[in-house]
Structures are given as structure tokens and as C-alpha cells.
A and B are shown apart, each in its own frame.
Chain A
Amino acid sequence: MASQKLFGTTPVGAVAVVEPPVSQWYARRARVAFICVSLAAWAVTAVVLSAFVMPLLAVALGLAAGLLLGLVTALVVRVWPVLRALWWWSLEITVVAAVVAGVSLAARVLPSWLLVGVVIVLVAVLVLVGPVRRFLSAWSWCVVDRHRLRLYFAGLARSSGGGRSGLLPLMLWARPTPAGERVWLWLRPGLDLTDLDGKAGRIAVTCWAKQVRVVPASERHAALIRVDIGRRDSLAGRIDSPLALLIPALRNTNTNADVPVSAAVPRIGLNLADMPDPPAPEPRNGRR
């Protein structure tokens, strides 16, 4: 189910269209938009046109223009969930379209055995060459994160009783880091950073990550936040100090020095058996 959502081109917005309350809400919005836009456009067009043509003609023309504009606006509002979903998935749609177009274009000019060869080589390069594979997977995770975060915030909006998905944060930009990904969000009214306190674990689960940190990203805007998603422990290995490079004796590291030993101090008393018995402590006065 999740993979269907993720990789299929069926937009998640389809869910919104069949969800009755949301659909009805948009239908109502569309009706309101139609009336408001029609009346406003009618009035403005009529006033402007009356300067050039007869008033009655101006009113009639204005009515026609208002109806047309209102209809277009209402249509956009009505299908807004679908448009929005298409926008969310625009990158995937573009990539799939480009691949399909590329292959079908190549099929016209190349013989089929060559086409198959080229495709196999391309796929092999993408999968087998380490840097390419890591680059692709790092940026793919960024794309995945945006969808998963949207899913999380949609759930948050629904559970807080809103019922409408108009308050989803804007996903601004995402980029990979050595440990995972970093996503910048612009929060919409109704949500702030403290609402996300203690929710990091849930966000991490939603993003299939190990841990998530949500921090403010701007000194000036409370709405701009940064989500750091951690998938790997980039701090597991040992880190060498750059100071070592300043020391001449350490620059050529081929000398395999062993444990430093002291010639001056005799090696006696380093084992428990070498130690003499200490004098027994004197019994204190007044106790027992």
C-alpha cells in the first residue's frame, strides 16, 4: 500500500477527492468562488467598458466576461486537490515521462538489440558505480522525505480536528547530509514549532528514519523550520584531529611506534602481588 502510494503515479490527492467531507468542502468553496468572482469581474468589466461603449452593452459584455471568469475560477477551485497532488508528484511524473520519452525516441533510431544494450549499460552504471548510486539514493531519499513529511502533517491536521488539508506546511527544499537529509519547511498559520515538541519520534517513524530533529531555521521567521532526518550514524568512526598535521614528527606516519615505556621508573609494584600488606587501620574511638 505504501509502495503503491510512493511509486505509483496515482496521486495521493485522489484520496482527497473521494473523501466526502473534503470533496463537499471544495464544492462549496467552488460555488462561493463562482459567485464572488463573477460578480466582481462583472462589475469591474462593466465599469471599464462603459468608458468606451454604450452602458447597456457594457453591462452585457461584463456579464459574459464575469460568467466566464467565474466558471474558470470555480473549476480550478473544484479540482484544486487534484492539481495540488499533481504538483506534489510533478518530479516523479516528469522523470517517468522523460524516461518513457527517451526510450521511445531511442527505439525509433536504434535497432532493438542496441537499445536493450544501452538500457542495460545505463542501469548497470546507475546501480553498480558507487558514487553514482550513492548520489542517486541520497537525493531520492530527499524526494521520499517530502512525501512522508506531507503525510505526517496531513495526519496532524486531521487529528487536530481541522479536517481540511489547507494547513499543510510548504516543503521548501531538501538536501542530503552525511547522516541523512535536511528539509526546510514553511509552517502555515495554526501550527508552530512547539506543536512538534516530542513528535520527533513519530516523524522519524513516518519517514522510515532512525531519528529526526526539528529546529528553527531562521532568526527572523518563526515559520521557517528545519527538519534533520538521520538514517545513518555518521559519527561512528574515529575522527583525527587536524592538529596532528601541524607537527613535523607526525606528518610521516609510517613509523609504527609501539607503547611508550619508561626506562627510568622500575617496573615494580605494577601488580597486586608485588604490593606489601598495608598496616591495619586503627579502630576509631567512640564507635563500637
Chain B
Amino acid sequence: MAPILTADNGNGPVDLGPVLSIFDPVHIGLDEYGHAKRVPLIYRNMLIGGEPGSGKSGLLNAVVAHAALSLDCRLVLFDGKRVELGQWRRCADAFVGPSLDQALLVLRKLQMMMDARYDYLEECERRKTIPEDVFRAYLVALDELAYYTATIGKKTDRDEFSMLLRDLVARGRAVGIIVIAATQRPSSDIIPTSLRDLFAWRYAGRCTNDSSSDIVLGHGWAQKGWSANTISPNNPGAGLLISESGSPELIKVAYLDDRTCAAIAAYAADLRAVVRDNMPTGKPVLVAA
């Protein structure tokens, strides 16, 4: 849906200008040569790896901040630690803390929604969602993925979680479901290799060794000189970013400190609260508080 706010002054709607859109590339920081790094996220997924304190949650927050300010995107947040994404709770459609049952519930609902969307697209004879669509994109952000897939709950539940997530990652792209998952070392005991290899964007913050770096980026990059092990431990937020095609790039994530994050989240929540769907025209409108 076009992210245009309109207000009614009696003589018909007045466009208030664009806000951000999830269909825009997301600014995540600077590349090695000092140029801004923007990554298109729609129709793609992102995997974030790296040792503790390497800035994974920082990148996740940068992406979620963009999505929160994009009125054509809804948020579903999973955070085993609760505080990393907790500031965005008011902007989110669903916020899952450290509870596997709740996580499974939300994922099942997302899966049902995805199927319904495919029914709709099939009916319209379309193959993917577009910016002016009747439904919004969803950003599904998961921090500390290993908590849900390998730590809490029963094995059967954890396996179901992996399976549902895999389905979302594999099939969600075309209906606007973007999955961004952060975990420390996405080895096969944390997430199935078949799931790991579905992520288009991969970001490796500092890793303790070359093999950990290869697990995130894909096999063989360390041998070609691209190892996240070479990143200084004193430089959190620096990491290697790689997309489906092309070679890795060293980037530094733009950091949102707590105050900035809180201010953006509050603004986004207010914006979302006053903007209601106006289904007949297909545009969000501002309603009086």
C-alpha cells in the first residue's frame, strides 16, 4: 500500500507527503569505503550471526527502526532476551518473549495468513505482492534464535518451531513476509542447514574463528580471505555482509542508542496509532486524536 498520509480539510484529501516504505532499500550503515550501504529487504530474508557483543541486535534494531517507520509494514517480534527489541513493542502486531508456546502460536497464525495471502494472489492471477497491494508486508524479526530452536521447551516443539520458520522463510517472500533472524552461531544444531541456506542476506559480525564465519557466510569464503574473525573485537557493529549473489563486503552498522531508539519507537507508535486503514481508497489516513 502506498505510504501516503492524507488529511481531509473539507475540500477532499490532502497528501501529507511520503514516509518511509519497506519497499525502499534499508540504510544499515557504511561500507568499507565510506559509502552508505542500503539493502533492499522486500522479497528477501536476512540471517545475522556473530559472537556475543558483536552487534547483532544493533543491526536488527536498525532494520526494525526502518520497518517501524514504514507504515506499509507490520512488525512481529521474537526476542528471547525481551530487552533488545522490547522498545518496539508498542509498534508491533505481536511481541513474543521467552515462551515457546506463544512463539509457536504466532508462527502458526503467520503460516495461516501466508496461505490465505497465496489464495488471494492466486485469485488475482499475480505472483507477488506489490507496493499498492491491499495487504501489508510483515517484518518478522527474531533475536537469539537459538533460544527458541535449541534451548527452551520440548524437542518436538522446538522442531515444530524450526519447521514453521522454515516454511515462512521459504514461501513468505512473495507475499511480503520478511524474516530476519539473529543468532550467535547458526550451526546445524541451532538451525537446520536447509533453513540456513535459504537466507539471501547474510551478515557475520565478529566470529571467534574462521569456521564460524563460514557457517554464516557460506562455505569457502574464509579461504578467499573473507573471514569475520579478522574483525577487531573492539569494533562492535562491524561485519561482513553478503547477498545471494556477489562477494562479501565489510560494513559498519549505524547504531541507535537507547535514547534514539526509544524516541523513534515512540514516534512510530504514535504514527501508527493515528493512521487508520482507509480501505475504500486504499490509503492510510490521519484521523483526529
Contact = CB atoms under 8 A, between A and B. Distances in A.
Interface of A: 177-179, 182, 197-198, 200-201, 211, 213, 215, 228, 230, 233-236, 238-244, 246-250, 257, 259-260
B252 interface: yes
B69 A243 contact: yes
B256 interface: yes
B247 interface: yes
Contact of A235 (B65, B66, B238): B238
A151 B259 CA distance: 52
B255 A238 contact: yes
Interface string B224-267: 11000010100101100000000100111111101110111011
Range, interface on chain B: 35 or more
Given A198-B225, A235-B32, A236-B235, A241 B267 contact: no
Contacts, number: 88
17 contacts: A177-B34, A178-B34, A197-B225, A198-B224, A213-B225, A228-B33, A234-B30, A234-B34, A235-B251, A239-B253, A241-B260, A242-B27, A243-B65, A246-B264, A247-B264, A257-B259, A260-B262
The 8 closest A-B pairs by CB, nearest first: A178-B34, A235-B252, A241-B254, A177-B33, A239-B254, A200-B225, A249-B263, A247-B267
A244 B62 CA distance: 11
A235 B225 CA distance: 19
Contacts of B267: 246-249
A247 B27 CA distance: 16
A235 B258 contact: no
Nearest to B87: A260
B156 interface: no
Contacts of A240: 254-255
Given A234-B34, A243-B256, 6 more contacts: A178-B33, A197-B224, A198-B224, A234-B33, A235-B252, A243-B27
Contacts of A235: 30, 32, 235, 238, 250-252
Interface of B: 20, 27, 29-30, 32-34, 62, 65-66, 69, 223-225, 230, 232, 235, 237-238, 247, 250-256, 258-260, 262-264, 266-267
A235 B250 CA distance: 9
Nearest to B259: A257
Contacts of A179: 32-34
A260 B258 CA distance: 9
Nearest to B226: A213
A243 B67 CA distance: 11
A243 B68 CA distance: 11
A149 B207 CA distance: 31
B33 A215 contact: no
B247 A215 contact: yes
B256 A241 contact: yes
A233 B69 CA distance: 32
A243 B32 contact: no
Contacts of B66: 243
Contacts of A230: 32
Chain A CB within 10 Å — which of B224, B259, B263 has the most?
Answer: B259
A240 B257 CA distance: 9
A179 B264 CA distance: 31
Nearest to B256: A241
B33 A239 contact: no
A197 B66 CA distance: 37
Nearest to A176: B33
B235 A233 contact: yes
